[in-house]
Amino acid sequence: MNDAFVEVVTESDLARRISQLGAELTEDYRGREPVMLGVLMGCLPFLADLVRATDLELEVDVLSLTRFGHDGRVSIMLDAAVPLAGRDVIIVEDIVDTGLTLTALRRALELRDVTSLATVALLDKAPRRIVDVPLEYRGFEVGDEFLLGYGLDWEGKFRNLRSLWAVMDLAALTQDPAAFAELVFGAPITR
Protein backbone atom coordinates (compact mmCIF):
# COMPACT_ATOMS: atom_id res chain seq x y z
CA MET A 1 0.00 0.00 0.00
CA ASN A 2 2.66 2.47 1.02
CA ASP A 3 4.57 1.76 -2.20
CA ALA A 4 1.54 2.93 -4.15
CA PHE A 5 1.80 6.51 -2.85
CA VAL A 6 4.92 8.57 -2.31
CA GLU A 7 5.14 12.07 -0.86
CA VAL A 8 7.24 13.85 -3.49
CA VAL A 9 7.23 17.48 -2.34
CA THR A 10 6.84 18.22 1.35
CA GLU A 11 5.11 21.18 2.94
CA SER A 12 8.43 22.79 3.83
CA ASP A 13 9.87 22.25 0.31
CA LEU A 14 6.77 23.95 -1.10
CA ALA A 15 7.06 26.89 1.30
CA ARG A 16 10.76 27.37 0.53
CA ARG A 17 10.36 27.23 -3.25
CA ILE A 18 7.28 29.46 -3.31
CA SER A 19 9.05 32.11 -1.29
CA GLN A 20 11.90 32.02 -3.86
CA LEU A 21 9.41 32.38 -6.72
CA GLY A 22 7.75 35.29 -4.94
CA ALA A 23 11.14 36.99 -4.50
CA GLU A 24 11.90 36.50 -8.22
CA LEU A 25 8.55 37.99 -9.26
CA THR A 26 9.05 40.90 -6.85
CA GLU A 27 12.40 41.64 -8.46
CA ASP A 28 11.30 41.14 -12.08
CA TYR A 29 8.07 43.17 -11.82
CA ARG A 30 9.37 45.96 -9.55
CA GLY A 31 7.55 49.24 -10.36
CA ARG A 32 4.72 47.43 -12.16
CA GLU A 33 1.30 46.26 -10.96
CA PRO A 34 0.77 42.83 -12.49
CA VAL A 35 -2.42 40.79 -12.49
CA MET A 36 -1.77 37.35 -11.04
CA LEU A 37 -4.30 35.24 -12.92
CA GLY A 38 -4.95 31.81 -11.43
CA VAL A 39 -6.37 28.96 -13.48
CA LEU A 40 -9.04 27.25 -11.36
CA MET A 41 -9.27 24.94 -9.51
CA GLY A 42 -5.82 23.47 -9.11
CA CYS A 43 -4.11 26.84 -8.66
CA LEU A 44 -5.87 27.77 -5.42
CA PRO A 45 -3.36 26.89 -2.66
CA PHE A 46 -0.42 27.88 -4.86
CA LEU A 47 -2.03 31.20 -5.84
CA ALA A 48 -2.81 32.03 -2.21
CA ASP A 49 0.74 31.29 -1.07
CA LEU A 50 2.48 32.84 -4.08
CA VAL A 51 0.71 36.20 -3.92
CA ARG A 52 1.59 36.47 -0.23
CA ALA A 53 5.23 35.80 -1.09
CA THR A 54 5.23 38.59 -3.72
CA ASP A 55 5.76 42.13 -2.42
CA LEU A 56 4.10 44.15 -5.18
CA GLU A 57 0.89 46.14 -5.59
CA LEU A 58 -0.56 43.34 -7.63
CA GLU A 59 -4.13 42.32 -8.38
CA VAL A 60 -5.41 38.76 -8.07
CA ASP A 61 -7.97 37.22 -10.37
CA VAL A 62 -9.00 33.76 -11.56
CA LEU A 63 -10.52 32.11 -14.58
CA SER A 64 -11.82 28.65 -15.27
CA LEU A 65 -11.37 26.61 -18.43
CA THR A 66 -13.29 23.76 -19.99
CA ARG A 67 -11.34 21.28 -22.07
CA PHE A 68 -12.82 19.49 -25.08
CA GLY A 69 -11.46 16.11 -26.13
CA HIS A 70 -7.73 15.46 -26.08
CA ASP A 71 -6.50 17.87 -28.71
CA GLY A 72 -6.07 20.92 -26.50
CA ARG A 73 -9.23 22.84 -27.38
CA VAL A 74 -10.34 24.92 -24.41
CA SER A 75 -12.93 27.54 -23.77
CA ILE A 76 -13.09 30.05 -20.96
CA MET A 77 -15.99 29.02 -18.75
CA LEU A 78 -15.53 31.71 -16.10
CA ASP A 79 -13.59 34.78 -17.18
CA ALA A 80 -11.41 37.17 -15.20
CA ALA A 81 -13.25 40.15 -13.75
CA VAL A 82 -10.27 42.51 -14.21
CA PRO A 83 -9.92 43.91 -17.77
CA LEU A 84 -6.56 42.57 -18.98
CA ALA A 85 -5.80 45.00 -21.85
CA GLY A 86 -2.70 47.04 -21.08
CA ARG A 87 -1.80 44.89 -18.06
CA ASP A 88 1.20 42.74 -17.17
CA VAL A 89 -0.48 39.36 -16.77
CA ILE A 90 1.09 36.47 -14.89
CA ILE A 91 -0.76 33.19 -15.42
CA VAL A 92 -0.61 31.03 -12.28
CA GLU A 93 -0.95 27.30 -13.06
CA ASP A 94 -0.73 24.21 -10.89
CA ILE A 95 0.97 21.98 -13.45
CA VAL A 96 1.97 22.04 -17.10
CA ASP A 97 1.75 18.56 -18.58
CA THR A 98 1.35 18.25 -22.37
CA GLY A 99 1.31 22.05 -22.60
CA LEU A 100 -1.88 22.06 -24.68
CA THR A 101 -4.00 23.90 -22.11
CA LEU A 102 -1.42 26.61 -21.50
CA THR A 103 -0.85 27.07 -25.24
CA ALA A 104 -4.58 27.64 -25.82
CA LEU A 105 -4.88 29.97 -22.83
CA ARG A 106 -1.89 32.06 -23.88
CA ARG A 107 -3.34 32.43 -27.38
CA ALA A 108 -6.67 33.59 -25.95
CA LEU A 109 -5.01 36.12 -23.63
CA GLU A 110 -2.65 37.45 -26.30
CA LEU A 111 -5.73 38.56 -28.27
CA ARG A 112 -6.62 40.93 -25.41
CA ASP A 113 -3.76 43.37 -25.97
CA VAL A 114 -2.01 42.60 -22.72
CA THR A 115 1.24 44.49 -22.14
CA SER A 116 3.09 41.31 -21.22
CA LEU A 117 2.28 37.70 -20.55
CA ALA A 118 4.24 35.24 -18.44
CA THR A 119 3.42 31.98 -16.71
CA VAL A 120 4.39 30.64 -13.34
CA ALA A 121 3.62 26.96 -12.87
CA LEU A 122 4.25 25.17 -9.62
CA LEU A 123 5.01 21.91 -11.42
CA ASP A 124 6.50 21.17 -14.81
CA LYS A 125 5.95 17.67 -16.19
CA ALA A 126 8.53 18.41 -18.85
CA PRO A 127 8.96 14.81 -20.12
CA ARG A 128 5.32 14.73 -21.21
CA ARG A 129 5.29 17.98 -23.17
CA ILE A 130 3.88 17.73 -26.68
CA VAL A 131 3.82 21.42 -27.54
CA ASP A 132 6.64 23.79 -26.80
CA VAL A 133 5.09 26.56 -24.71
CA PRO A 134 6.95 29.34 -22.87
CA LEU A 135 7.16 28.75 -19.11
CA GLU A 136 8.91 31.71 -17.52
CA TYR A 137 8.80 30.52 -13.91
CA ARG A 138 8.41 27.04 -12.49
CA GLY A 139 8.58 25.57 -9.03
CA PHE A 140 9.64 21.98 -9.57
CA GLU A 141 10.28 19.70 -12.51
CA VAL A 142 8.50 16.39 -11.94
CA GLY A 143 8.32 13.01 -13.65
CA ASP A 144 5.29 11.55 -15.36
CA GLU A 145 3.52 10.06 -12.33
CA PHE A 146 0.00 11.20 -11.49
CA LEU A 147 0.22 13.78 -8.69
CA LEU A 148 -2.22 14.68 -5.96
CA GLY A 149 -2.50 17.31 -3.27
CA TYR A 150 -1.79 21.01 -2.83
CA GLY A 151 -4.55 21.84 -5.32
CA LEU A 152 -4.27 18.75 -7.52
CA ASP A 153 -7.22 16.41 -7.32
CA TRP A 154 -8.35 12.90 -8.00
CA GLU A 155 -12.08 12.92 -8.79
CA GLY A 156 -12.42 16.27 -7.05
CA LYS A 157 -10.75 15.11 -3.84
CA PHE A 158 -7.42 15.52 -2.07
CA ARG A 159 -6.85 19.12 -3.21
CA ASN A 160 -6.58 20.03 0.47
CA LEU A 161 -3.45 17.97 1.15
CA ARG A 162 -0.67 20.24 2.35
CA SER A 163 2.01 18.40 0.38
CA LEU A 164 2.29 16.71 -3.01
CA TRP A 165 1.96 12.97 -3.50
CA ALA A 166 2.76 10.78 -6.50
CA VAL A 167 0.43 7.90 -7.23
CA MET A 168 2.67 5.01 -8.31
CA ASP A 169 -0.25 2.61 -8.65
CA LEU A 170 -3.39 4.29 -9.96
CA ALA A 171 -5.37 1.04 -9.71
CA ALA A 172 -4.72 0.97 -5.94
CA LEU A 173 -6.22 4.45 -5.60
CA THR A 174 -9.21 3.64 -7.81
CA GLN A 175 -9.95 0.40 -5.96
CA ASP A 176 -9.51 1.75 -2.45
CA PRO A 177 -9.46 5.55 -2.17
CA ALA A 178 -10.32 5.26 1.53
CA ALA A 179 -6.96 3.58 2.17
CA PHE A 180 -5.15 6.56 0.67
CA ALA A 181 -7.35 8.94 2.67
CA GLU A 182 -6.42 7.04 5.82
CA LEU A 183 -2.73 7.25 4.95
CA VAL A 184 -2.77 10.99 4.35
CA PHE A 185 -5.42 12.15 6.80
CA GLY A 186 -4.46 9.71 9.49
CA ALA A 187 -7.84 8.27 10.41
CA PRO A 188 -10.42 6.14 8.64
CA ILE A 189 -13.30 8.11 7.16
CA THR A 190 -16.57 7.01 8.76
CA ARG A 191 -19.83 7.75 7.00
Where in the sequence numbering do the catalytic residues fall? 97
CB of 61 to ligand 5GP, least distance (A): 17
Q: Which of 59, 61, 153, 182 binds ligand 5GP (CB under 6 A)?
A: 153
62: contact with ligand 5GP by CB under 6 A: no
Q: Is there binding between residue 54 and ligand 5GP (CB under 6 A)?
A: no
Across-strand partners of 59? Answer: 35
Q: Are strands 35-39 and 88-96 parallel, antiparallel or unpaired?
A: parallel
Distances (CA, A) of 8 to 27, 150, 156, 167: 29, 12, 20, 10
Instruction: Using CB under 6 A, pick the residue from 17, 146, 168, 172 that binds ligand 5GP.
Output: 146
- The CA distance from 118 to 89, in Å, is 6
Residues 138/124, Cβ–Cβ less than 8 Å:
yes
Name the segment binding ligand 5GP (CB under 6 A); options: 11-19, 87-95, 112-120, 181-189: 87-95
Cβ proximity to ligand 5GP, 101 vs 119, nearer residue: 101
> Under a CB-based contact definition with an 8 Å cutoff, are residues 61 and 44 in contact?
no
**45 in contact with ligand 5GP (CB under 6 A):** no
Per CB under 6 A, does 38 bind ligand 5GP? no
| Binding residues among 110-129 for ligand 5GP as defined by CB under 6 A | 125
Can you list the pairs that 173-179 forms with residues at least 24 positions away whose Cβ atoms lie under 8 Å?
A: 173/4, 173/5, 179/1
Q: Is 97 in the site for ligand 5GP (CB under 6 A)?
A: yes
The answer to whether 24 and 18 are in contact (CB under 8 A) is: no
- Which residues, at least 6 apart from 67, have a Cβ–Cβ distance to it below 8 Å? 73, 74, 101
Q: How far is the CB of 25 from ligand 5GP (least distance, A)?
A: 20
Which of 22, 34, 38, 42 lies at the binding interface for ligand 5GP (CB under 6 A)?
42
Residues that bind ligand 5GP (CB under 6 A): 42, 93-102, 125, 146-148, 152-153
